Chain A
Amino acid sequence: NAGVTQTPKFQVLKTGQSMTLQCAQDMNHEYMSWYRQDPGMGLRLIHYSVGAGITDQGEVPNGYNVSRSTTEDFPLRLLSAAPSQTSVYFCASSYSGGRMNNSPLHFGNGTRLTVT
C-alpha cells in the first residue's frame, strides 16, 4: 500500500490565485482530513470527511473548500490564495468506524505552500 499520497510536494502561488491540493489513500479509510501546520501552533484541522459525499468544517475552514466524491480522494481547494495561507498542509486518514477512538490517523508527507 502506498498509504496517503499528497501532490504537489511544493507550490508557490501569487495572492489571488487558486489551486487544488490533491490527497489520495489506498487503505479504504472512511475518515479523511486536512490539517495545516504552522510554527509554534501544532496541527490545526481545516476540513474533514467521514465518508464519500460527507464533509464538515474543522477549526480553520475559511478560504478552503473540500469535496469527497470517492472514498480514495479528498482534494483541498484554495479559492483565492492569501499570504496567511502560507503553511505546510497535511492530509490524514483513518478507519474511524464512526468514532475517532478506533484507530490513529495516517498522514501524507505534506504540501509546502508559499503565497507571495
Chain B
Amino acid sequence: GESVGLHLPTLSVQEGDNSIINCAYSNSASDYFIWYKQESGKGPQFIIDIRSNMDKRQGQRVTVLLNKTVKHLSLQIAATQPGDSAVYFCAEDGNTGNQFYFGTGTSLTVIP
C-alpha cells in the first residue's frame, strides 16, 4: 500500500514566525497532492493542493513546495497565528484513480 509520512509528529512555533511542515510520499507516480488542516473535533479542511507538473503553489499565507526528485512535500505557513494550531495532513492520489492516501499528521502548536 501507499506510505505517506511526516518528518515530525509535533511542531511548536512562536506567533508571527513562519512554520514549515514536511511530508514524504512513497509513490513516484502520484500526480496530485493536498494539504489538510484538522482542528479538534472537526473534519479535515482543505488548505491547498498541487499537481505533479508544478514545484510550488501559493495561497493566502500558505505555500506548498513539491520536490519530486526526493518525493518530498512541504507546507509553509507565513506569520503563524494562534488559529493555525491544528493537525496538518498531507495526502497523495497514488495515481490509482479511486482513493487518496493520508499521512498520520503533524500537530502544530502556536505559542502566543
Residues on A facing B (Cβ under 8 Å): 4, 33, 35, 40-43, 45, 48, 50, 56, 58-59, 90, 92, 98-101, 104-110
Contact = CB atoms under 8 A, between A and B. Distances in A.
Nearest to B39: A109
B1 A108 contact: no
Given A33-B99, A100-B93, A105-B100, A42 B42 contact: no
B99 A48 contact: yes
A107 B45 contact: yes
Interface in B72-107: 89, 91, 93, 95-100, 102-105
Interface string B1-12: 100100000000
Contacts of A58: 99
A45 B49 contact: no
Contact of A101 (B31, B43, B44, B89): B31
A42 B104 contact: yes
B51 interface: yes
Q: Interface extent on B, as a size class?
A: 20 to 34
A45 B99 contact: yes
Contact of A41 (B43, B93, B96, B104): B104
A50 to B, nearest CB: 7
B98 A50 contact: yes
A90 B44 contact: yes
A40 B87 CA distance: 12
A88 B45 CA distance: 16
A110 B1 contact: no
Closest 4 CB pairs of A and B: A107-B43, A101-B32, A43-B102, A100-B93
Contacts of B105: 42
Nearest to B47: A104
B96 A110 contact: no
A38 B102 CA distance: 12
Interface in B29-78: 31-32, 34, 36, 41-46, 49, 51
